[in-house]
Structure 1
Amino acid sequence: MYEDPIVTEVRQAGQCLADEAEGDLHIFFQRLREAQKKYPERLVRAPQHPSQVAESGLPSGE
């Protein structure tokens, strides 16, 4: 079976974060939220629904 190196890297990173939180989901997600605040430029935002784009007055990209 093919093993994607990017998927492997992401899984390893997630496992490291889980290990650092000692398996505590509250701590795990708290640290993720802190990282989001620290590195907002790295976040990917979900595309807006077309009706929201029209209401915002922004170009739809089409």
Structure 2
Amino acid sequence: MTGKFDLIYEPSVLKSMVAQSLPSTPMQQTLMSVAEAFKSFKELRDLHLKGKLHLGP
């Protein structure tokens, strides 16, 4: 499982043109937001696959 801060230190991300063009603080905040979004998606997907996700009325 990817940790919240793992993407910040991932060499392939750090060397990308996008990462190098951004100041470090906004880049870190963006990567943490992306990591949280993926974590939420994976948790919701697991609930759905187990039949435990109930959507609306």
Global fold match (TM > 0.5): no
Larger Rg: 1
Q: TM-score range by the shorter chain?
A: 0.3 to 0.5
Structure scoring higher RCO (CA < 8 A, sep ≥ 6) equals: 2
After TM superposition, the score normalised by the length of structure 2 is 0.37
